[in-house]
Amino acid sequence: YGPLTWLTIPGQNILVVNSLEVAQELLDKRASIFADRPKFTMAAELLGMTRFITFSPYGDWWKTQRPYFKHALSAAVVRSDYSPLIEAKAQEYIARCAARPESALSEANRITAEITIKLIYGKLEDKRGRDYIQISNRISDIMTYAFQGYVVDLFPSLQHLPGWLPGMKFKRDAARWKKEIQEGVDAVFELAKENTVRGMTLTNHRFMWIDLKEGPSSFAHELYPGLAMAHKTSFQSTNQIAADPTEATMQSFIRAMVLFPSVQEKAQAEIDRVVGSGRFPTFNDQTDLPFLHAVILETLRWNPVASFGVPHVSRQDDVYDGYFIPKGTSVMANAWGFSRSSKYYTNPSMFDPERYLKQPSELDPREFVFGYGGRICPGKDLAFHDIWILAVSVLWAFKL
């Protein structure tokens, strides 16, 4: 289809970009033009999901939230502040898998969410026995449902009709789901606030909750007029941008190791040589495990987390190579196509970590799997950090 594919559905123009170079030109170099998000009526107007950073439209809220996430989830902060916690959680994951091997995939979901909640709020002790991981997973499920596409997204005026009319089930669903989301984010927020007021140490680094102790002079207070809302949405936002990619990639990694045992054996031989059996792997081993690093990169390429990512939307008319792109066009980069292109990869249908070890190395999939421009995933460094330690720990402990 060439570098650009144009689609039109009622009320919406869609541009699918099939060339990485074109995607980088539009979404990186012209990031300010293509920094908006689609206006999903169901998810945005009826459920209020625009407060979560992944789906926030271009505007003041997004522009104030993003620098905070970018700082708190930067590579330097992740490595210096979060590594001990992530290593400890990886060891917990191994213990759980050893006790219940059949739960390896479901535990990957839980452990990544636990890392996120621990980083943001610290230890949440709820005497009422609520499971905050289940709350978060339920909100994620609702988000998945909301973005599957509803007739109200094509015909927004339907949202103003009474919910009892035939065909208006989406309004009843939206009312119920919005209540669940609000109750979920409020529950986590209020418990963390209560624990902070009681003087509990929630975290040992500067993230969301330290400014409840420090007051208006803290970093977050300087950025946010709507501080409480920023806190309430921080967990679910971070789950979307770090935990969800980690979980999906770990599931792909485990499947890849089962499907390609020779790759697994080579990675395990490297780990045995560097780490041995007398201790757990740590991030200090990272530079000494180049093949494992290549295996993780190949996993990202082999099964990209999001085939087309979250669409960007043009904020104004633009022209590329003679093609007119009107304001409001949804632009989607074809990550799956990039991952399977012989332009970027030799034998792209093969699972071959060696492609990243030869000189010159083939394209690092992180160039396209985590997004572009100002909308690039701010949790990409935390996600890759999580994936690395979980992957090395699994291969250190088990033969899959």
Positions at the binding site: 377
Structure tokens at 93: 């994951």
Contacts by 147-155 with C-beta closer than 8 Å and gap 24+?
147/40, 147/42, 147/43, 150/41, 150/42, 152/41, 152/42, 152/46, 153/40, 153/41, 153/42, 154/9, 154/10, 154/11, 154/12, 155/10, 155/11
Closest residue by Cα to residue 379 from 234, 256, 229:
234
What is the Cα–Cα distance from 162 to 167, expressed in whole angstroms?
Answer: 10
Identity of the residue numbered 375 = R
User: Which position has the token pair 């977050």?
Assistant: 220
DSSP 23: H
244 and 140 in contact (C-beta within 8 Å)?
Answer: yes
Closest residue by Cα to residue 18 from 341, 306, 381:
341
What is the Cα–Cα distance from 89 to 91, expressed in whole angstroms?
Answer: 5
User: Which position has the token pair 């070890």?
Assistant: 357
4 bridge partner residues? 17
Q: 3-state SS of the chain: helix, strand, coil percent to 5?
A: 60, 5, 35
Cβ neighbours of 100 (radius 10 Å): 10
What distance separates the 2 farthest-apart alpha carbons in the chain?
67
5's enclosing H/E stretch is strand 4-9
For the annotated binding site for heme, the residues are 377
Identity of the residue numbered 55 = F
Burial of 366 (0-12, 13-18, 19+ CB in 10 A): middle
Q: Within 215-326, where are the H helices?
A: 219-223, 227-238, 244-259, 261-274, 290-302
369 and 300 in contact (C-beta within 8 Å)?
Answer: yes
